[in-house]
Amino acid sequence: MKFSVVITTYNRLNLLRRAIDSALNQTIACEVIVADDCSSQDTEIYVKSLGDSVIYHRNEVNKGHAATVNAGVQKASGDWIKFLDDDDYLSPNCIEQMAQAIALCPNAAICSCIAAQVDSDEVELSRTPRLGPGLAFCIPQADIHYGMLLELVPFGTPVQVACRREAFWKTGGWDSQLDANCDDIDSWIRIAQFGDAIFLNQCLAYRTIWPGAYNQKFSLARRLDTNILMKKKIYALIDSKHNSHVPAFEHIKNYLKLHWSLVALKQRNLQSFISILDKSLFSLFAWWLLLTIFCFRHSQINNPHIRKFVLIES
């Protein structure tokens, strides 16, 4: 099994150095690819100075995040693709631990792990939650989208995720129309059609939280609209075995509106709060789902809803 780490970058050489180092210093060998979205010449000079240890691709013009991911994967020869944005970095044993878990679940198409959220000084702020029992477990394909709908199966951001290269290309790659606004989540939704999912309850990735992050450029209203679109895509792919207990889509929309209105309130963005909040305030299901997800994300105890998805443990 061979891994290719695809690092996307655009004019952030100071951060890119750290991302590349984290990929090159893995405990098992992997292919490292830098996909550059037409940065200044300094980026090209630095990456090429690393010689044959890194494969370099540079877009001739700026094409955006999604297209740059696709260009990087096009250069990859690994069976599995590990995604990495230039402002994030990996634990030295990330690839080794993922490879060991994948060997226990050969039908997997996607793999995710716990990530630490860090500030610009690499001080840890928080961690994504544990999911289910043991150090690693597998969710059968037929249960993935139902779990995603209720946010019991959150794959997370690119730094947390790897996928089978074959499954990536079956989906046609990342969608440039979404470009950095859930383009990753959209990809996970489609990749999950082609195999099981693995989660590792180990912190193997580090995501930097800072004002320069791509997703900070979008308004809360736009992020809400995109989240509703993602849930529609998930809803359409839920296996028929879950039909008897799938909530109405209107309930899911109410939950999303409630969630993003509270985000606006937390950010003291009164205009967005007023524009987003509507009858969802009075939806008992929306409040129930919001509280369920909140408790799930802030508890290290195995979630009873997740346990029914477990196929293997390691």
* Closest residue by Cα to residue 15 from 205, 208, 159, 160: 208
Cα angle for residues 10, 22, 120 (degrees, 5° grid):
60
DSSP 28: S
* Closest residue by Cα to residue 99 from 294, 248, 314: 314
| Cβ within 8 Å of residue 139, ≥6 positions away | 147, 153, 196, 197, 198, 199, 309, 310, 311
Domain at 3-215, CATH homologous superfamily:
Spore Coat Polysaccharide Biosynthesis Protein SpsA; Chain A (3.90.550.10)
pLDDT tens per residue, the chain (314 residues)? 999 999 999 999 999 999 999 999 999 999 999 999 999 999 999 999 999 999 999 999 999 999 999 999 999 999 999 999 999 999 999 999 999 999 999 999 999 999 999 998 999 999 998 887 788 989 999 999 999 999 888 899 999 999 999 999 999 999 999 987 899 999 999 999 999 999 999 999 999 997 756 555 678 888 899 999 999 999 999 999 999 989 999 999 989 988 888 888 888 887 777 777 776 777 888 888 888 877 766 654 444 444 444 444 44
Q: What pLDDT is recorded for position 215?
A: 57
Q: What pLDDT is recorded for position 298?
A: 61
Q: Are 192 and 148 in contact (CB under 8 A)?
A: yes
In whole angstroms, what is the distance from residue 93 CA to residue 290 CA?
34
Q: In the block, which residue shows the tokens 């993003």?
A: 260
Give the residue extent of every domain in the chain. Answer: 3-215, 218-301
What sign for the dihedral angle of Cα 126, 129, 130, 136? negative
Q: What pLDDT is recorded for position 309?
A: 43
| Cβ within 8 Å of residue 227, ≥6 positions away | 182, 256, 260
Q: What pLDDT is recorded for position 277?
A: 73
- The 10 Å Cβ neighbour count of residue 119 is 11
The three-state secondary structure class of 307 is helix
pTM for the structure as a whole: 0.89
pLDDT tens-digit map of 106-134:
999 999 999 999 998 999 999 998 887 78
In whole angstroms, what is the distance from residue 162 CA to residue 204 CA?
12
- How many residues are present in the chain? 314
b/e burial code for range 72-86 (CB count within 10 A of at least 16 → b)? bbeebebebbbbbbb
